[in-house]
Amino acid sequence: MKRREFLKSATALAAGTAISAPTIFSAEAQSRKETLLLVSENGPNNLDIHGVGTNRPGYEASWNCYDRLITHATKTLPDGSLSYDRDKFVPELAEDMNVGDMSVTFKLKKGAKFQDGTPVTAKDVKWSFDRSVTVGGFPVVQMKAGSLEKPEQFVAVDDTTFRVDFLKKNRLTIPDLAVIVPSIFNSGLLKAKATEKDPWALEYTKSNTAGSGAYKVTSWKPGVEVVYERNDAWIGGKLPELKKVIWRTIPSGGNRRALMERGDADISFDLPAKDFVELKKEGKLKLVSNPIGNGMYSLELNVKSAPFDNEKVRQAIAYALPYQKIIDAAMFGHAKPLFGGPSNTVSTIDWPQATGYKTDLAMAKKLMAESGAGPIESTVSFDLGDAVNCEPMAVLIQEALGEIGIKLAINKVPGANWRSEMAKKSMPMMVNFFSGWLDYPEYFFWCYSKLNAVFNTPSYVDPAMDAFIDGAYAAAAVGDKEKYATDVKGFISKAYTDVPRVPILQPYLNVAMQNNISGYQYWFHRQVDYRKLVKG
């Protein structure tokens, strides 16, 4: 992106956030207007995106409490709802971005301060980027997606100038700078909290925020609630209207729904499909539903050990799954089917798209007989933090696979432990959801199939698959659309034939709000951005 285009985007964003003259309220009414109560099934297990095993709710704290150099612009969807714009970037901590042939240089906004009043400098940015590529686990994997891998790539030119040097041309480099991982931390504070065993102060940031973002966490009771207060010194954007956000964990869907129907809660986030369908019919609340980009629920099979190292067993399972029953039972019909396509050899680069599998027990039994695997006893696991969706799926899968000689026990993993259990790669079969932050098919497969990292839970590694993925990355970097399409169709078709994971459905992210709430925006990370929310 050229400097002129970046500044033009920034100007357009600023113009779009103008507000009318304030109305006079009583102190009590104003306080209610400036405080939001949000409820959800699951809460964070860590306030730091760089933490070991940080769950998806933990991303919400990092997003709202830390700045990135750049972020995405906002766009209005055909139904009038708001979404991030994948292809357009605007400033956050940076005021200017100059993209060169093999580097990008940022000028930081003057006057930016951390929550303790310390000025933000390019040295903090450098330290934070070094942390993101060194700390290990998911953050390192995410940064590698944009070829951001070595501390030597990150240069603090002076107090307000920061440069990223490219290892190679990669069209995902700039988008990767706008995800949550390259958040900017107060390096002075964290160096003081670091120890020899904890050089990046992960123990401190697990339960304390140390950013320059729009909010700071003032109270966290794990499993109960998180309390955020506005950082009035924030200059990363227009100062939010909400001074306080209370995020309460309410495991019972019925209780969350009752709070919304009584008007006691302002937002119910990640609403179960059943409640969404029923509340939409009632028409009393404001409801928003967005298809989750680059995401799917699938049944994942650990291919590194028998019997799931047998391709015919995996294909038999793909034909045995009761797809429509799963959509009806778990999603109340509110999902995009990822089955019943014309063939497993795809003809488009659409992603996600349907496989050629469908429920066909005769074919499943035939493939099981050909596999020579015989009767199988195994376990299917799922995340209790997503039990409302995953448990009915697991039960139906258990019943269906029993019809082809696969006896399954169900393993319910506590939500706080799910990521760490995934990382062990010891679960033979699991119902799982994955959504790629960068909405490109090659990114999804790079995370989910090429790297033997946390999200490659089937431990599926194949040289031909790697060649297709690498080819798509290289073609995208130079704008070779024909080669890109060939490689994308190649890796999708191979994934559907080898089937280390069986795609089931693409879900929707459902949100219920009181009618006086506005400004909700869908984001790639699938968590709530408090900064533009308004409570009328």
SS3 at position 88: strand
* Predicted local confidence at residue 453, as pLDDT: 67
Cis peptide before 352 (omega within 30 of 0): yes
The position carrying tokens 């951390």 is 114
CB burial of 488-512 (b: ≥16 within 10 Å; e: otherwise) equals: bbbbbbbbbebbbbbbbbbbbbbbb
How far is it, in rounded angstroms, from Cα 354 to Cα 339?
5
Comparing C-alpha atoms, which of 244, 304, 270, 365 is closest to residue 500? 304
CB 241 within 8 A of CB 77: no
CB 420 within 8 A of CB 53: yes
3-state helix, strand, coil in the chain (%, to 5): 35, 25, 40
Comparing C-alpha atoms, which of 89, 88, 83, 51 is closest to residue 68? 89
* Predicted local confidence at residue 270, as pLDDT: 92
CB burial of 114-152 (b: ≥16 within 10 Å; e: otherwise) equals: bbeeeebbbebbbbbbbbbbbbebbbbbbbbbbbbeeee
The dihedral sign for the CA sequence 124, 130, 134, 136: positive
Residue 21: count of CB within 10 angstroms of its CB:
4
The position carrying tokens 């102060």 is 201
Q: E strands, 92-242, where?
A: 94-99, 103-108, 154-158, 161-165, 215-221, 225-230
138: tokens are: 């998911």
Comparing C-alpha atoms, which of 323, 315, 301 is closest to residue 378? 301
Comparing C-alpha atoms, which of 526, 458, 73 is closest to residue 290? 526
N- to C-terminal Cα separation, the chain: 37
* Three-point CA angle 315, 384, 270, nearest 5°: 95
412: tokens are: 């319910």
Helices 311-320 and 361-371: crossing angle in degrees, nearest 10, is 160
The three-state (H, E, C) secondary structure of 48-69, written as one string: CCCCCCCCHHHHHHHHHHCCCC
CB 371 within 8 A of CB 313: yes
49: tokens are: 């995106």
Residue 412: count of CB within 10 angstroms of its CB:
12
471: tokens are: 């080819």
- Sequence-separated (6 or more) residues with CB below 8 Å from residue 213: 64, 65, 66, 67, 183, 231, 234, 236
* Predicted local confidence at residue 455, as pLDDT: 83
Given a cut of 50, the residues of the chain with pLDDT beneath it are 1-4, 7-25
pTM exceeds 0.85, yes or no: yes
Domains and CATH numbers, the chain: 3-13+32-250+510-535 (3.40.190.10), 295-506 (3.10.105.10)
